[in-house]
Amino acid sequence: MDAMAGHWLPRRLRGWGSRPALLWRNEIWSYDRLCDATDIWLSELTRRGSAPGSSIAICGDYSPNLCALTLAALLNRNIVTPLATATAGRWDQMIEVAEVGFAIKFDGDDACWSAASGRTVSHPLLRQLVHQGAPGLILFSSGSTGDSKASVLDFDKLLAKFQDARPAYRTLSFLLLDHIGGINTLFHVLCHGGTLVTAEDRSPCSVCTAIETHRVQLLPTTPTFLRMLLIAEAPKQHDLSSLEIITYGTEPMPASTLAAVREAFPTVRLKQTYGLSELGILATQSRSSDSPWLKLGGGMFEHRVVDGVLWLRSQTAMLGYLNAPSPFDMDGWFNTQDLVEVDGEYMRILGRKSELINVGGEKVHPTEIENVLLELENVKDVTVRGKPNPITGEVVVARITPTRTENPELFRRRIRKFCQARLERYKIPAVIEFVEADHHGVRFKKSRNATA
């Protein structure tokens, strides 16, 4: 990394020396080896004519050479678009939106091949990064509420928070690299001298096998995956005693799931995280390991609640979207669309305002009903949404995946009886569907559009 000796990151990584940086397919990559690979990729970027400010896509998962190329592209001041293997069907569209000059794609064996388009950046936001001489990062939203939006961020600003020393953990790479949580995980690990551990895949068994084999200390994941983990009874089949922290985010945590996770991992600290591609990852503090209430940190972020909706202002905020109007108001505040309850310094995330169901003028949030239904025996997973109705405007629809086979009509009666004792009448599902399909997308976040 001699070519970028003035940047703080190469010096930091070189300082970790022979300490293990990556554990990939039972192969150990030290920080020295990772830095050497980064130097090779820096030379390769120069050979390919990838000047600072050019846009490149890095496609694949957390393989060692992919991580080294990501570091090299950052240090080369490229505009980087990470694309996860799980979204390969949309790569061509996203590469076009990001004005990618060439894409480098990694397969499961860490081998790569490239494809050049000859594009040069022309979008004003990308030209702004070029003018500033800053490395860029383009992150696409999941598209769960419509077309994927492309957020343009200053990569160096996102990394600034990692300059302060933090504890080093052996961390599992669960969140996809094209997600703000995945980027945060990668650089949190490397900047603090930790070790990033990969699993064979993101199934409960593979994740638990990786934790057991490599003595993972930190698992960053989602409420949906934690519920899958418990249903599969994977914690009972593996030695997960090395775990010290489980962080969860991307969606509201059901109270029943949190209680079950707490019971399954009584000595592990559970921490709720919060972040957005448009703003970065906030510092958070959970009230306790068994509480869904959290405190949002200060520093580079400000927050306020307007009519029950969370607004944020961030020093690491994106420059804007490549394919949508700017969402910021005149003072730089961003409407997260997340409904929250406030209790002193703490708040509880309820879910997106856009997901509210209007039943005869009464507002119903799907997560409230889901939380109740998840407490019912034989409910493996559930997704609630609204369905148009000519009389009430909308009615509540519940898609339920049972744990085992049960007579559908008897099960519906049991569900409604259970709800009658716990919910107001207008919140009780009018339509109950039984399905076998997953309720989540590739990022293990509940997908309500899949129920439309």
Residues across the chain: 452
What Cα–Cα distance (Å) separates residue 350 from each residue in 55, 309, 314, 360, 433? Answer: 37, 10, 22, 21, 24
For residues 153 and 207, state if they share a domain.
Answer: no
Instruction: Assess whether pLDDT exceeds 80 at residue 3.
Output: no
Give this prediction's pTM.
0.90
Instruction: Assess whether pLDDT exceeds 60 at residue 185.
Output: yes
- Measured N-to-C along each axis, helices 8-15 and 180-191 cross at an angle, to the nearest 10 degrees, of 60
**Interval 277-284 mean pLDDT:** 91
Segment among 66-80, 251-265, 319-333 with least mean pLDDT: 251-265
**Interval 101-110 mean pLDDT:** 92
Instruction: Assess whether pLDDT exceeds 80 at residue 394.
Output: yes
For residues 387 and 302, state if they share a domain.
Answer: no
Q: What is the CATH number of the domain that holds 387?
A: 3.30.300.30
Q: Is 21 contained in some domain?
A: no
- The residue with greater pLDDT, 146 or 168, is 168
For residues 268 and 287, state if they share a domain.
Answer: yes
For residues 335 and 360, state if they share a domain.
Answer: no
**Interval 118-147 mean pLDDT:** 88
What's the order of all strands across the beta sheet hosting 284-286? 284-286, 294-296, 346-352, 334-343, 309-314, 301-306
pLDDT at 449: 61
For residues 317 and 420, state if they share a domain.
Answer: no
Contact in structure between 93 and 100 (CB atoms under 8 Å):
no
pLDDT at 438: 78
Instruction: Assess whether pLDDT exceeds 70 at residue 5.
Output: no
Q: Is 436 contained in some domain?
A: yes
For residues 276 and 302, state if they share a domain.
Answer: yes
The encoded tokens of residue 128 equal 């702004």
Whether the CA torsion 178, 181, 184, 188 is positive or negative: it is negative
For residues 347 and 365, state if they share a domain.
Answer: no
Q: Is 140 contained in some domain?
A: yes
For residues 336 and 211, state if they share a domain.
Answer: yes
pLDDT at 392: 85
Q: CB-based burial of residue 236 (10 Å sphere; 0-12 exposed, 13-18 middle, 19+ buried)?
A: exposed
Instruction: Assess whether pLDDT exceeds 80 at residue 297.
Output: no
Instruction: Assess whether pLDDT exceeds 50 at residue 452.
Output: no
pLDDT at 239: 96
pLDDT at 146: 56
Backbone angles phi, psi at 408, to 5 degrees: -55, -45
**Closest-CA residue to 45 (of 66, 9, 73, 7):** 73
Instruction: Assess whether pLDDT exceeds 90 at residue 325.
Output: yes
Q: Is 299 contained in some domain?
A: yes
For residues 149 and 246, state if they share a domain.
Answer: no
Q: Is 189 contained in some domain?
A: no
For residues 207 and 259, state if they share a domain.
Answer: yes
Instruction: Assess whether pLDDT exceeds 80 at residue 150.
Output: yes
What Cα–Cα distance (Å) separates residue 82 from each residue in 4, 24, 37, 79, 178? Answer: 22, 19, 18, 10, 5
Instruction: Kindly indicate the confidence band of residue 73, based on its pLDDT and cuts at 50, 70 and 90.
Output: very high
Summary mean pLDDT of the chain? 91
Element (H, E) at 373: helix 366-373
The encoded tokens of residue 106 equal 């990694």
Q: Is 167 contained in some domain?
A: no
Q: What's the number of domains the chain is made of?
A: 3
- Calculate the dihedral angle through the C-alpha atoms of 117, 122, 124, 125, rounding to the nearest 10 degrees: 20
Contact in structure between 377 and 411 (CB atoms under 8 Å):
no
Domain ranges, residue 398: 356-451
Q: Give DSSP secondary structure letters for 122-152.
A: -SHHHHHHHHHT--EEEEE---TTSSPPEEE
Contact in structure between 424 and 411 (CB atoms under 8 Å):
no
Question: Of 333, 353, 373, which closes a domain?
Answer: 353
Instruction: Assess whether pLDDT exceeds 80 at residue 440.
Output: no
Question: Of 157, 188, 217, which closes a domain?
Answer: 157
Residue type, 226: L
Question: Of 353, 372, 388, which closes a domain?
Answer: 353
Backbone angles phi, psi at 326, to 5 degrees: -65, 135
For residues 203 and 324, state if they share a domain.
Answer: yes
**Interval 27-31 mean pLDDT:** 97
What Cα–Cα distance (Å) separates residue 390 from each residue in 128, 334, 395, 425, 428? Answer: 50, 35, 10, 18, 18
pLDDT at 206: 95
Q: What is the CATH number of the domain that holds 337?
A: 3.40.50.12780
- Calculate the dihedral angle through the C-alpha atoms of 4, 5, 7, 12, rounding to the nearest 10 degrees: 120
What Cα–Cα distance (Å) separates residue 43 from each residue in 49, 104, 127, 382? Answer: 10, 15, 24, 50
For residues 138 and 225, state if they share a domain.
Answer: no
Q: Give DSSP secondary structure letters for 21-51.
A: EEEETTEEEEHHHHHHHHHHHHHHHHHTT--
Contact in structure between 72 and 85 (CB atoms under 8 Å):
no
Q: Is 186 contained in some domain?
A: no
Residue found by looking up tokens 């950052």 in the block: 74
Contact in structure between 348 and 340 (CB atoms under 8 Å):
yes
**Interval 216-233 mean pLDDT:** 93
Q: Is 173 contained in some domain?
A: no
Contact in structure between 277 and 288 (CB atoms under 8 Å):
no
